[in-house]
Structure 1
Amino acid sequence: MPLLQRNRLALRPLTPVIGAEVSGFDLRQPLDADTVAELQAAINRWKVLFFRDQPISDEDQLRLGRYFGALTPAHPIADGLEAHPEIWERHASEYKKHRPDLGIPTSKPPRDYKGWHIDITFVANPNSYSILRGIEIPAYGGDTLWSNLVAAYDGLSPRIQSLIDGLQAVHRTGSYDAGSGPRVRRDGKPAGPFAALHPLVRVHPHTGEKVLFVNPGTTSHIVGLRERESQVLLDLLAEEVTRPEYQVRFHWSPHALVIWDNQATAHAGPIDYAHFDAPRTVRRITVAGELPVGPDGFRSQPLEGELFGVIS
């Protein structure tokens, strides 16, 4: 697709629906307010922004995140780096380990859908943005997919939209999120279990768009429906989340960095970790978010565990 030149940003959309590659400036340098505003507008439009050849430091990554809001701890369940507790480091080898869940769900979540998820929705206030940076990247493999959840909602029939606009669903920690970490984080906060009640559709706080707020990894059931009804509807909606026409695929390269709107996207990756043994290390930070609100005004509520706090 053609290059779109804004005042400061050069954007190259990767699909008509989601994803744009950004070029033209150095993330090691501080950004002025106008550039940050353009980045925010680009995220609102394209949902995921990709940057290449950005050999930044941990401190640069933290500074970039703070342009979009306060930063959270690395993860509600896992510790961050000791020097930078906001940073969560992940290795591809960790995905191959057996990850028993916490044993708390009362209903089965939808099928795994090959790792598709929204970050940290088992708390009532999931993060608003995620920023992921490549540290050690293999020559091939380890790609990540993102899906546009606004497009997923818009693609539903009006009757299904009307049905789900007023429904709520429970999100719980599961095997993907639980890992095998400590029950208490380094900062003394409990590391789960967590559960939250969310609207099945949320209204984006910046754009006003309706977002299909279904997390294939942690949405356990829809409140008020029989178990079979809940499972069938969740399977249908999870299939919408993962439809290829709403996706963008990113081939990582050394020093690449991605910013995505966690309020409007789901992602999966590394999608092929089971098929390669090359080292792959990434570091992620998350920007604090607010309580999601549904079209009917319902605001998310914690069911178990505390809200996701702010660290810096």
Structure 2
Amino acid sequence: MSVMNAGPPTALREARVPEGGMYEGVRVLRRLPEGAPEQPYDLFRLVPLGRTIGAEVRGIDLTRSLPPALRAEVNRALLEWKVLFFRDQHLTSEQQRGFARQWGELETNPLLERGSSEDVVRFDKGGGAAPTFENVWHADVTFRRRPALGAVLQLRQVPPVGGDTMWADMAAAYDNLPQSVKDRIDGATAVHDFIPGFARFYPPERLAPLQDRFPPVEHPVVRTHPETGRRLLFVNASFTTRITGMEREESDALLRYLFQQAHVPEYQVRFRWQPGDVAFWDNRATQHYAVNDYAPHGRVAERVAIAGDRPF
């Protein structure tokens, strides 16, 4: 059988996409620090919900103080999976505070609505409530010198449809940056300020008295996790305003690119709430996004946050 001569290859027309965007491709999805061994969990059952982030913990009653060995194993799970979910706990506010206190001093936040005590924040979204503090990827209180170590959130009222929360793994986000971008941000710092995140919802007269209490702070663009040693992308769209030492246009373009990294599905986990469920996340290693898609139904949540350390 004869083979027809295919001739010279057909030339393709010139085509390009804008530089600086995010495109398809294989991503490195590494849950543990490089070289860290896999270890079993002996004191509870752990059910992964994502490749690198998010796991459900079964067989623990959070209404009781955790014995030291169990607390250590839960902490290891938190470091490995970045956000842990505990179903059907129905904690009182005091029990929720007690669980969180096992990880450190609790944080207060005068910018958010208070629950039963000054260190409990209550998000009460009735059918007609304004869509505040939702629909944006962020890490909590990075405008503080010591941003929160983590947070414990419980849903008390859940809408029949919608109202999920998503978390993104910022170690995976850093791992997959092009080397050219890593080189640009290595050693860089960025300014964080509470005003951009809250000015969308509060009038100036409510924010102005807090300006002296919360002045702008600088944090590394890439922080090192104090327990795992992982490098983590540490800028977010709610509070990071500029990269130190860069011209505004260059800083804005680079920050937009870095903010986009939280949007990659492979780095995310999405949780569908039921009343009484609890989420415990590592604020140093993640960003989160509360999905506001549940109107006209209500959604009520309470959160306590654990004070952290100075990023390095």
> Could you say whether these structures have the same fold, taking a TM-score greater than 0.5 normalized by the shorter chain as the test?
yes
CA distance in 2, matches of 1:149, 1:94: 33
State the Cα distance separating 1:214 from its structure 2 match.
1.0
- Displacement of 1:282 in angstroms is 0.1
Alignment of 1:244-283 (within 5 A): 244-269=265-290, 271-273=291-293, 275-283=294-302
Maintained 8 Å contact 1:117/1:217: yes
Q: Which residue of 2 aligns with 1:32?
A: 67
1:194-233 map, 5 Å: 194-233=215-254
Structure-1 residue corresponding to 2:120 = 87
Displacement of 1:76 after TM fit? 4.2
Q: 1:268 to 1:291 in 2, by over 3 A?
A: same
CA–CA separation in structure 2 for the residues paired with 1:289 and 1:46: 18
Q: Which residue of 2 aligns with 1:305?
A: none
- 1:277 deviates by 1.2
How far residue 204 of structure 1 moved from its aligned partner, in angstroms, is 0.3
Partners of 2:156 and 2:276 within 8 A in 1: yes
Correspondence list, 1:131-150, <5 A? 131-150=152-171
Matched-pair contact (CA < 8 Å) for 1:144–1:250: yes
Determine which structure has more spread, i.e. the larger CA radius of gyration: 2
Relative to the length of structure 2, the TM-score reads 0.81
Please name the residue that 1:242 is paired with: 263
Large movers: runs of 4+ above 4 Å: 93-96, 181-184, 188-193
Aligned partner letter, 2:292: D
Gaps of 5+ in 1: 100-111, 294-312
Residues 69 and 193 from structure 1, CA distance in 2 versus in 1: closer, same or farther, beyond 3 angstroms? Answer: closer
> Shift of residue 46 of structure 1?
0.3
Cα contact 2:138–2:287 (8 A) shared by 1: yes
Root mean square deviation, CA, Å: 2.6
TM-score normalised according to structure 1 size: 0.81
Partner of 1:57: 92
SS in 2 for 1:80: coil
How many residue pairs were aligned? Answer: 272
Cα offset, 1:158, TM superposition: 2.1
In the alignment, structure 2 segments of 5+ residues that lack a partner are: 1-38
Over residues 75-107 of structure 1, what are the superposed CA-to-partner deviations in whole Å (9 max), with x where a residue is unaligned? 1423523x41110000235995387xxxxxxxx
Asked whether the equivalents of residues 82 and 169 of structure 2 are also in contact (C-alpha less than 8 Å), the reply is yes
Correspondence for 2:150 among 119, 124, 129: 129
Q: Is the 8 A contact 1:77 1:191 kept in 2?
A: no
The answer for the alignment partner of 2:111 in structure 1 is: 77
